[in-house]
Every structure is written in C-alpha cells, then in structure tokens.
Amino acid sequence: MMNHKHPLELISVSADVNHSKIDASIIWLHGLGADGYDSEPIAQRLLNLSTFAHVRFILPHAPEMPVTRNNGHIMPAWYDVYGSIPITKEDEAGVAASQTYINTLIKKEINRGIPSNRIVLAGFSQGGAVALYTALHYPEKLAAVVSLSTYLPLQSQFNSAANRVSASMPIFMAHGLFDDIIPLDLARASFNTLQNCRYLATWHEYPMAHQVSEQEIIDITQFLQQVLALDLVE
C-alpha cells in the first residue's frame, strides 16, 4: 500500500465563519509530477463564489514513485507510465491502487454525512484519468466527473468492468486542440467509448496545449453549479 500525505482540504471562508453545513464535496486530483497544491488556485476561485459556500474541496497528493517514461525518476504519480502513444502497456496495478485510495476519500466524505450523489470527482491529466476510472467503477452513483486533458485508462476492459449505476452520472470531458502530451485523438476515443455505452458524457475542446484555460474554467464552473444544484432538488 502506497503512503499518501494527508490531502489538502478547503472550504469557503463564509462557511467557516457562519458554521454553514457542508452539503457537497469535490475531490480534485492533480497531474503527474504535481501535488494537491497545484489544484488549489482553481478550488479557491470556485470557493469565492457563493454557489460553492457549502462545498468542501479535497485535494489529495499522489504518492512518489519511479516513472518509467521519465527515466525512472521518482515523482508524484497516480500510476506508472511506460512509454509513448499509442499506449500499448498500462500500469493496471497502479491504477487499481489509486482507485482504492480515492474510494477511501469518497467513503470518508460519506461518513461525514455527504451522500455519494453529492460527491464530484475531478482531475487533470493523470489525475483526470484516475478520477474518470474511479467514478465509472464506483458502486454508487456520484454527482459528476470532471475529466480534463486526459483519457480513460484500461479502456479495453471497460465494457465488462464498468458499473452501470454510473450511467446517469454527468461527465465533463475537455481537451486542448494542441495537446502534445496526451493526444486529442486518444481523449476523443475515450469519449466515443463512453458515448457508445450511453453514458452522459459531454465533450469540450479548447485552443490550448496540455493546460487549463480561462474559458474552460468558466465552463467547468457552470457545469459544477448545475450538477450540484440539480442534486439538491432530486
């Protein structure tokens, strides 16, 4: 079992001052070589909006491990990356280990009184891959997934392994037209797989490289506002 540092947790200043009840959680996973603090600026920006005054952000840190594609250098990673695109070999054990860890974070939020359908998984790049994979295989329906500049790992196993309870879960997939780290075609193929399996996935493209853009943040904000507001009246 990998050792994980305690995740960064953020709530609105107004929620802290007014002792407002937290009624939703967003677990946001960073990319390869980063850490939870890399996701903090976006989380803080959302927390400045009144819509997110009752939301807790959980920003976990990936464990450090040697990454094969980066010459075995040790860095924060959710799973090992072996080689070039197209992907011919995947770290199934590493993906499963990260899935298990994120499941424990979901369970902790449930134990704090947040229903599973008020918990969002989000992530960028490798973190987005783990977020997408974990949400699609979680035994209960989550609120939504935000999957940025990434792909669905272990896609060849998807049809047999995925849990259909997540079929009605909104999925926001976004990618840069000029991404030179994770090719656009790979991300589109993942989206097509989800569409073909009748998942509620939406696709968004932006004129950017392997990054997050201003318009993308605006679109993510609107998406999260919608899915969290909708669940309150269900």
Q: Which of 4, 210, 213, 219 is catalytic?
A: 210
CA within 13 Å, CB half, 7: 22
* Known catalytic membership, residue 30: no
Report the domain count for the chain.
Answer: 1
What is the distance between the alpha carbons of residues 53 and 219, in angstroms, rounded to a whole number? Answer: 19
Q: Which of 38, 91, 179, 231 is catalytic?
A: 179
Examine the pLDDT at 233 and tell me if it is beyond 50.
Answer: no
Q: What is the mean pLDDT of residues 189-199?
A: 92
* Known catalytic membership, residue 179: yes
CATH number at residue 119: 3.40.50.1820
Q: Which of 25, 39, 98, 125 is catalytic?
A: 125
With vertex at residue 71, the alpha carbon angle to CA 68 and CA 77, rounded to the nearest 5 degrees, is 50
Question: What domain range includes position 67?
Answer: 8-230
Examine the pLDDT at 231 and tell me if it is beyond 70.
Answer: no
Q: In the structure encoding, which two tokens stand for residue 76, read together?
A: 């924060």
pLDDT band at 89 (very low <50, low <70, confident <90, very high): confident
* pLDDT of res. 234: 39
Examine the pLDDT at 19 and tell me if it is beyond 60.
Answer: no
Q: Is residue 96 part of a domain?
A: yes
Examine the pLDDT at 160 and tell me if it is beyond 60.
Answer: no
Q: Is residue 1 part of a domain?
A: no
Examine the pLDDT at 15 and tell me if it is beyond 80.
Answer: no
